[in-house]
Structure 1
Amino acid sequence: MDQPHFIFGHLPFWLVTYSLAVVGWTLFGRFLMQFFVPPDSRLYIWRFFRLLTDWAVRAAAFLVPRYVAQTWLPLVAAFWIFTFRLAFGITMLAAGLAPRLAPP
């Protein structure tokens, strides 16, 4: 068999999809946590969530109409991140740069 290694042979695919998954799920957690934590809280978990996801929330604010409330922006950003992750995965699979479970 002349197939590349399942992990190391497709490292760009794994790094991008894993990074997008971490940001997407952190956005979902930020959306849920914002109902219990004030926006200027000093909690280290909240600060980490904001540090990791502020760029995505700002991008979502740019993409959606202004009448969408600030409360919903993390959820909208999570939707866009997961959509981009799916499109990236399909594109990499079509290009033959993603791992396959069975030989083609």
Structure 2
Amino acid sequence: MVSPVVIPIVVVGIAAAAAYLIYRTVLYDYFCRRSVDSTLLEYGIKKTQPQIIREYHASKGEQISDAEASRLARHYRQRQPDRFLAMYDEMRERRPG
């Protein structure tokens, strides 16, 4: 008697949870990446996000791996997208000449 009501609710709940997980892991990062890339292009910056991070840390005398640069790029583009412009500006100001 309860199963005609419970089974559809469970199926919809599982489908909603799966859709949310796909959104958070794939689509959200895609939209964030696209937004940051368009902002960088708007300002005429032709460097990739991990490239900006590696060069920023290199200018501070720190060496980071490619995996660490990718992890930081994902973190920054999802939580602090304006950080890329700040890092690029700081690197540009430090350049001699």
TM-score, reference length from structure 1:
0.30
More helix by share: 2
Bigger radius of gyration among the two? 2
TM-score, reference length from structure 2:
0.32
